[in-house]
Homo-oligomer: A and B are copies of this chain.
Amino acid sequence: MEVTRKNFKEVLPEVDKAIKECCFIAIDGEFSGLDAANHSHIAPFDTHEERYGKVKKSCSDFLMFQVGICTFKYNQKTERYEARPFNFYVFPRPHSRVAPDLRFLCQASSIDFLASQGFNFNKVFLEGISYLTPEQEGNLRDVLQQKHREVSLFSSPAFTTPGTDEQAGVTKGPIHIPDEQKEFIRKNCEFIQNFMDELVKDTLNLPPSNGFQRKLLYQTIRQKFTGVHLETKTGEKKERYIVVTRVKSEDELKKKEKEKQAAEIAEIDDAVGFTQVIKMISQSGKLLLGHNMLLDIIHILHQFYYPLPNSYEDFKAMTHCAFPRIVDTKLMGSMNPFKEKIPSTGLGDLQKFLEFPPFCKPEVDLAEGFSSYNTPDQHHEAGFDAYLTGLCYISMTNYLGSLQKNASGRVSPTSSLLDPYVNKLFLMRMADAPYIDLTGPDLKLKREHVFNISFPKEWKNEDLNQLFSPFGNIQISWLNDTSAYVSLYRKEEAKNVMKTLCKDNTVYQIIRYNDHKTGNSANLR
């Protein structure tokens, strides 16, 4: 189901119900880019801390503008799952002139890719649901409270024009009305006179005007009319116009002011928008699934939760606090007993492999009102990818269940069978550290068979292969033009490397990985 700001309010109770009733939730996001330039890119011999630092820095300037959330409810009668895929378009639309005006980064290749898949950017920008972090929401409410308090302390500001260039602070007398504007001003005064005389409507919207015309209008109307309240509003097409309201008494003016304040508070409620959905998921404490979900988690925390901590350990704690039970299906598919049976863990491939023996196609229906996802075209739509992620999870857990002695079909999302997979996030392109463990110490990195080597910039892979040929096959991870990490496949050869290669007068320099990391290069050569 597609959710935009047009139907968000209407659909939100349904989302709430779906989250409350389901067994588990799958999530997927689409981003405006994947990694910022200028930052160091992820590499096979990153440490866990380095990797978190790199991903945090290189992704948090991008925007997650589509969020797929698919809930899976188990129907005891039919013994089948009911899936509810929601596809949310989100966009940080500045809801008012005091709202944060976000700057975000786009990566040309990511945008190009999404565009070629038929991604609808116009829908994101035009109909995306707003959101605020709790911090932003708090700030806005503080500012508003402060403003309302000042209003009640001092006089009513209802007669003043909403702060525009007040800061410019230019104190001038009344502006001269140029000839070209006289007709426009005269006409508007006529509208107001009729409105005041007729006593039919309560408010009058003047025609759209530019800033200069509004300045003239405010000035003229205040001179000519009493008992009117003026306010500038913004229409759908960003045109701005003055709304004139008749006021009879001081009391009515106060009532108007109260209404205005209530509207301003409601505006913030609206602006919180999609953040509510993440709050619901977090508060449900339900099992959350994702496929290669580190980036998704980082974006979700950053956009809808709290600022990403600098410390890696704090990040783990914060993630666990927000989502107490997580399974990453890419990681699951690349661990035992699936590893040997699944040759490719890309989401699309994985889901297809998991329909064939030794696995079984999972029994899942789309709930009523959720248009069926039958065509392969929907790939890379976040809602569809979340749905596929759920299918993968069901196939894999069913398989785990079937391996048990008293095989009984369904595996509960709290089953201990899931323990090896829970609260671990897949790490891409890591040589030897396949995941982040959110609730325990990470795997200790054993890199005695890895070496840092510097060399002339003419060197290529074959030069390194040549140099290391006495020790068998190697894996090379380039750091820059003149240095790389080299890792041995035959780890038992590690002890021979330094003896053989660390000589005087070579064009290259070699040191052990661990010494390189701890900066011990000087005293070890």
Q: Is A101 a contact partner of B111 (Cβ separation < 8 A)?
A: no
Asked if A346 meets B210 with Cβ closer than 8 Å, knowing A36-B103, A104-B105, A105-B103, the reply is yes
Interface residues of A in 475-516 (CB under 8 A from B): 475-478
Question: Which of A344, A346, A352 counts the most chain B CB atoms within 10 A?
Answer: A344
Q: Is A238 a contact partner of B461 (Cβ separation < 8 A)?
A: no
- Bound-state CA distance A171–B210 (Å) is 67
Which of chain B's residues have a CB closer than 8 A to the CB of A348?
210
- Bound-state CA distance A207–B35 (Å) is 30
Question: Which of A33, A171, A212, A465 counts the most chain B CB atoms within 10 A?
Answer: A171
Does A417 touch B at the CB level, under 8 Å? Answer: no
Q: Is A94 a contact partner of B117 (Cβ separation < 8 A)?
A: no
Question: Which of A63, A167, A180, A353 counts the most chain B CB atoms within 10 A?
Answer: A180
Q: Is B122 a contact partner of A120 (Cβ separation < 8 A)?
A: yes
Q: Is B126 a contact partner of A116 (Cβ separation < 8 A)?
A: yes
Q: Is A171 a contact partner of B36 (Cβ separation < 8 A)?
A: no
- Bound-state CA distance A167–B171 (Å) is 66
Q: Is B104 a contact partner of A106 (Cβ separation < 8 A)?
A: yes
So how many copies of this chain end up in the complex?
Answer: 2
Q: Is B122 a contact partner of A237 (Cβ separation < 8 A)?
A: no
Q: Is B116 a contact partner of A108 (Cβ separation < 8 A)?
A: no
Which of chain B's residues have a CB closer than 8 A to the CB of A473?
170-172
Does A168 touch B at the CB level, under 8 Å? Answer: yes
Interface residues of A in 313-349 (CB under 8 A from B): 343-344, 346, 348-349
Which of chain B's residues have a CB closer than 8 A to the CB of A121?
121-122, 125
Does A37 touch B at the CB level, under 8 Å? Answer: yes
- Bound-state CA distance A343–B216 (Å) is 11
- Bound-state CA distance A169–B212 (Å) is 65
Which of chain B's residues have a CB closer than 8 A to the CB of A465?
169, 171
Which of chain B's residues have a CB closer than 8 A to the CB of A120?
122
Instruction: Write the nearest CB–CB distance from A115 to chain B, whole angstroms.
Output: 4
Instruction: Write the nearest CB–CB distance from A486 to chain B, whole angstroms.
Output: 9
Q: Is B113 a contact partner of A92 (Cβ separation < 8 A)?
A: no
Q: Is A237 a contact partner of B104 (Cβ separation < 8 A)?
A: no
Which of chain B's residues have a CB closer than 8 A to the CB of A106?
32, 63, 103-106
- Bound-state CA distance A103–B348 (Å) is 28
- Bound-state CA distance A434–B154 (Å) is 39
Does A451 touch B at the CB level, under 8 Å? Answer: no
Does A369 touch B at the CB level, under 8 Å? Answer: no
| CB closest residue in chain B, given A355 | B180
Q: Is A33 a contact partner of B103 (Cβ separation < 8 A)?
A: yes
Which of chain B's residues have a CB closer than 8 A to the CB of A107?
101-103
Instruction: Write the nearest CB–CB distance from A4 to chain B, whole angstroms.
Output: 12
Q: Is A94 a contact partner of B122 (Cβ separation < 8 A)?
A: no
Instruction: Write the nearest CB–CB distance from A460 to chain B, whole angstroms.
Output: 10
Which of chain B's residues have a CB closer than 8 A to the CB of A346?
210, 212
Does A414 touch B at the CB level, under 8 Å? Answer: no
Which of chain B's residues have a CB closer than 8 A to the CB of A461?
166-167, 169
Does A91 touch B at the CB level, under 8 Å? Answer: yes
Which of chain B's residues have a CB closer than 8 A to the CB of A171?
465, 473-475
Q: Is B116 a contact partner of A169 (Cβ separation < 8 A)?
A: no
Which of chain B's residues have a CB closer than 8 A to the CB of A170?
473, 475
| CB closest residue in chain B, given A121 | B121
Partner of A116, one of B113, B181, B236, B475: B236
Which of chain B's residues have a CB closer than 8 A to the CB of A105?
103-106
Which of chain B's residues have a CB closer than 8 A to the CB of A117?
237-238
Does A75 touch B at the CB level, under 8 Å? Answer: no
Partner of A101, one of B91, B109, B356: B109
Instruction: Write the nearest CB–CB distance from A242 to chain B, whole angstroms.
Output: 17
11 contacts between A and B (CB under 8 A): A37-B101, A91-B108, A93-B112, A121-B121, A168-B477, A169-B477, A169-B478, A171-B473, A171-B475, A178-B343, A210-B348
Can you add 8 more A-B contacts, CB < 8 Å, to A93-B112, A103-B107, A168-B477?
Answer: A63-B106, A91-B111, A101-B109, A104-B108, A106-B106, A167-B461, A170-B473, A180-B356
